Structure 1
Amino acid sequence: MNSEEDSHVVEYIRLFLPSSPHSSVVFYGFYLFPFKMCTRKTLPAEMISRNNFSVWSILKKCIGMELSKIAMPVVFNEPLSFLQRISEYMEHTHLIHKACSLSDSLDRMQVVAAFAVSAVASQWERTGKPFNPLLGETYELIREDDGYRLISEQVSHHPPVSAFHAESLKQEFEFHGSIYPKLKFWGKSVEAEPKGTMTLELLKHKEAYTWTNPMCCVHNIILGKLWIEQYGTVEIVNHSTGDKCVLNFKPCGMFGKELHRVEGHIQDKSKKKRRVIYGKWTECMYSVDPKVYDSYKKSDKKTTGETKKLKQVSDEHSCEGEEADEMPEVQETVTVIPGSALLWRITPRPPHSAEMYNFTSYAMTLNELEPGMDRLLAPTDCRLRPDIRAMENGDIDAASVEKERLEEKQRASRRERSKDEEDWSNRWFQQGTNPHTGAEDWLYTGGYFDRNYTDCPNIY
């Protein structure tokens, strides 16, 4: 060994070889790199300004079209791959651990519902587009402090499909799915439909929950301030008990009254309402008894009924402006109904988040590359992508050049396979049937953390 970094690797491998009684939990994290948790508080450079760039010249011919095949300038990206964005579902893993610890299935469903909402919370004000993953690109994330490890892979290019698998280091849960993000441009906004099913398995309780994520819309792509709303119905099904949680992510509506709001209920297999869930996906979620909720709403209607009409007449804000979809002023924070239980509250963002692509503290760490990691990661890991690294360092010109080079290399590889009549073979996931829904899904085949990367493609 010729460096201090190499000696650290050897020492940590020696200390945590499988002979250790804790090896099944600790070994992978220490084997990955000289142990230092990825906890940076900021990015190497501030966000690149987009003021001198116009997306209209690219999108004006794409109204109503699916955007996955449209090449966008790198300046409209954020320095993360879509695979890294997927890993942000795990920011609030403590909710899964809590669900694992609860003995009552209704209580578990409440917390799983909160986790499903928290999984999209990081999208608030994240108006940068993540880099499209290259076919065969991977991302691994090991968080010993949160007790899980994750692997994701880009398993298809057209259509773009990203598969992921996360598992507890103590064999308490598995969380997996595949996402096919369909993007459409509608003149003033871009609508994203995250097609694909999320599956959470609580192994101790022998329960499996499935759901799909809500729609997402980014307003004012051409003119005005960018802003995001989530909307649509999310149904979370417990396939073991028959319980279901129906959540309505409300569109902002006229006058912006419903912006960010989420409301729904949990029903048992006989369709009896057991709990009401309410809050904001940008802030917090609560649960309350349905009778208490109905009583409160009736009282609230009497109180507000007389002023409602006057308020609507005087309110000038609407989601459909003539020149831009003006973002409604954010309404008051969630009004807590007496008797409610707090399920989840969002983690505050760092004070400099606006200068850092509106990243959360969690997102700040996702592309961190500690000394020595590059020799131990799979060569397809997106931490090693030169275009994302250049953008993170504030070099937009190098990022653009590298992005174009990688995309051309990908096209050349596809032409070569076509000429040789050779099919692409994914390394860590394969198509199969989701055992809980019966639908087609991408399933993890295992073996990634054995650290045998000899068959990985050269994509960078």
Structure 2
Amino acid sequence: MNSEEEFFDAETGLESDDSWEVSFKDALVFDSKQVADGSTQENGVFERRKVLPAEMISRNNFSVWSILKKCIGMELSKIAMPVVFNEPLSFLQRISEYMEHTHLIYKACSLSDSIDRMQAVAAFAVSAVASQWERTGKPFNPLLGETFELTREDEGYKLISEQVSHHPPVSAFHVESLKQEFEFHGSIYPKLKFWGKSVEAEPKGTMTLELIKHKEAYTWMNPMCCVHNIILGKLWIEQYGAVEITNHNTGDTCVLNFKPCGMFGRDLHKVEGYIQDKSKKKQRVIYGKWTECVYSVDPKPYETSKKSDKKTANGSKKLKQMYNFTSFAVTLNELEPDMERLLAPTDCRLRPDIRAMENGDIDLASLEKERLEEKQRAAHRERSEDEEEWSTRWFVLGTNPHSGAEDWLYAGGYFDRNYTNCPDIY
């Protein structure tokens, strides 16, 4: 873990010895030197790539208005969009970007005080949306039964996700620490709507983080996301809405307000909130920007001083000609020869349309996207004729034991690598 990425005393200008700051710097790219014996990981990766095979495809000659003008107020998951408006990742891979700042979970695991742990969890919840900054490309809709696994022995976790429903689209994921320190899981029901000048994304679904040593479970829902200037002008993204994080064991809560832009962009990217204990007493104030960093300070000096924003010079490094991916995102669709013997045949890395787009072949990507979508429709028609229900492979619909809400829960067994009953979706 890079010491620069850990919490450190904030230079807030407030009279407090108990101020914390966390910056959403780029996650470290895997380096073989980080493995003690110099060996590769189970999936065959020795050193992760730092760029995509081809630069971003230009969208200058394509009119999004010609596609969207009949879609105002409609749910976009049911509308076929030209592949040029995509980025070369599946939505399942996009979900895995929640783990870019895993060090914050380990920070929470290491702390003895529940309020301190909530600070780290709150920072992790904010960091989970930080990679969306300037990401205006749409991820590919996962096919029903599609999966994505991510094993990061250097970061100490493994992830599995599955597209468990097509209409409505539902994506389920499960992450576990290799040393049984934490589990992180959830199911997401994304809803996208076009409102004339903007596209609004509502990421319905509950995130659950379990700190095993502390026997604690935290739950929250992500904020709304909106992409502006779809028709004219420069595209820009804002997150807005209230996010409430609950520690179901201690009763501590954290309320974060992702502020809408407001007049003249005054509140663009701002996050403000507080942590309170089970007696509703405020213990910490949290503020900052979800694109840069957040601070946690004592409520009293914050209220009297109303700290102004601190500018940070080193936010996540964006690769402008690589779809504004962070270096973590660049690695997600990498496919090394030794990987294929371990991956399920439904893994995103094996999707030919995403692979073609990543390689810069927009025509092949479009043809393959149409072929896969038609294959999915044909499979659906065949199941309907046979009155056969779709069966998920790695997740089951159940009840979240902490929130009591309906949730898709990991059934286990993926990493036994028995793929006998996996569907043929590609």
How high is the TM-score relative to the length of structure 1?
Answer: 0.83
User: Do structure 1's residue 440 and structure 2's residue 406 form an aligned pair?
Assistant: yes
Take 1:72 and 1:62, find their aligned partners in 2: how far apart are those partners? Answer: 11
Q: Is 1:456–2:422 an aligned residue pair?
A: yes
C-alpha displacement of 1:333: 5.4
Taking CA–CA contacts closer than 8 Å with sequence separation of 6 or more, which of the two structures ends up with the larger relative contact order? Answer: 2
Structure 2 equivalent of residue 16 of structure 1: none
- In structure 2, what is the Cα distance between the partners aligned to 1:154 and 1:169? 24
Aligned match for 1:171, one of 173, 180, 185: 180
Looking at structure 1, the residues matched to 297 and 274 of structure 2 have their Cα atoms a distance apart, in angstroms, of 9
Q: Aligned to 1:427, what secondary structure does the other structure show?
A: coil
Corresponding residue for 2:275? Answer: 266
Q: Counterpart in 2 of 1:393?
A: 359
Q: Equivalent residue for 2:310?
A: 334
Name the CA distance, whole Å, in 2 between partners of 1:165 and 1:438.
18
Corresponding position of 1:248? 257
Which residue matches 2:197?
A: 188
2:251 is aligned with 1:230:
no
Residue 325 (structure 2) pairs with residue 349 (structure 1): no
Distance (Å, rounded) in 2 between the aligned partners of 1:257 and 1:423:
51
- The match for 1:366 is 332
Shift of 1:63: 0.7
Deviation at 1:372, TM superposition (A): 2.5
Paired with 2:40 and 2:414, the residues of 1 have a C-alpha distance of 16
The alignment partner of 1:75 has SS state of: helix
Distance 2:44 2:139 in 1: 29
C-alpha displacement of 1:348: 2.8
Equivalences for 1:80-229 in 2 at 5 Å?
Answer: 80-229=89-238
- Matched to 1:406, the amino acid is L
SS at match of 1:391: helix
* Alpha carbons 1:118, 1:346 under 8 Å: kept: no
- 5+ residue gaps, structure 2, are 1-34
Call closer, same or farther: CA 1:446–1:277 in 2, change over 3 Å. Answer: same
Aligned identity (percent) is: 83
Measured in 1, the distance between the counterparts of 2:89 and 2:115 equals: 37
Contact kept? 1:32, 1:377, Cα under 8 Å: no
Q: CA deviation at 1:224?
A: 1.0
Question: Match for residue 317 of structure 1?
Answer: none
Contact 1:110 1:287 in 2 (8 A): yes
Number of residue pairs aligned between Structure 1 and Structure 2: 390
1:376 matched to which residue of 2? Answer: 342
Q: Cα deviations across residues 58-106 of structure 1 (Å, max 9, x unaligned)?
A: 1111111111100000000000000000000000000000100000000
Runs of 4 or more consecutive aligned structure 1 residues displaced over 2 Å after TM superposition? 29-35, 332-336, 345-348
In structure 2, relative to structure 1, the CA distance for the partners of 1:113 and 1:346 (3 Å cut) is: farther
Distance 2:236 2:43 in 1: 38
Matches within 5 A, 1:60-75: 60-75=69-84
Structure with the higher fraction of residues in helix conformation: 1
Partners in 2 of 1:202 and 1:347 — Cα distance? Answer: 28
Equivalent in the alignment of 1:6: none
Please state if 1:50 is matched with 2:64. Answer: no
Secondary structure at the aligned position of 1:417 is classed as helix
8 Å Cα contact 1:85-1:130 kept in structure 2: yes
C-alpha distance in structure 1 between counterparts of 2:223 and 2:274, whole Å: 16
Q: Does structure 2 retain, via aligned residues, the 8 Å contact 1:235–1:247? A: yes
Partner of 1:34: 44
Q: Is the 8 A contact 2:45 2:336 kept in 1?
A: no
SS class of match (1:95): helix
* Partner Cα distance (2:357, 2:348) in 1: 13
State the Cα distance separating 1:262 from its structure 2 match.
0.2
**1:397 partner SS:** helix
2:397 is aligned to 431
C-alpha distance in structure 1 between counterparts of 2:296 and 2:45, whole Å:
40
- For 2:286, which of 273, 277, 287 is the aligned residue? 277
Mapped to 1, the partners of 2:303 and 2:165 lie a distance apart of 47
Give the conservation status (yes or no) of the 8 Å contact 1:121–1:346: no
Secondary structure, counterpart of 2:272 in structure 1:
strand
8 Å CA contact 1:181–1:192 kept in 2: the answer is yes
Q: C-alpha root-mean-square deviation of aligned residues, in Å?
A: 1.7
Letter in 2 for 1:450: D
Q: Which of the residues 337, 361, 368 maps onto 1:402?
A: 368
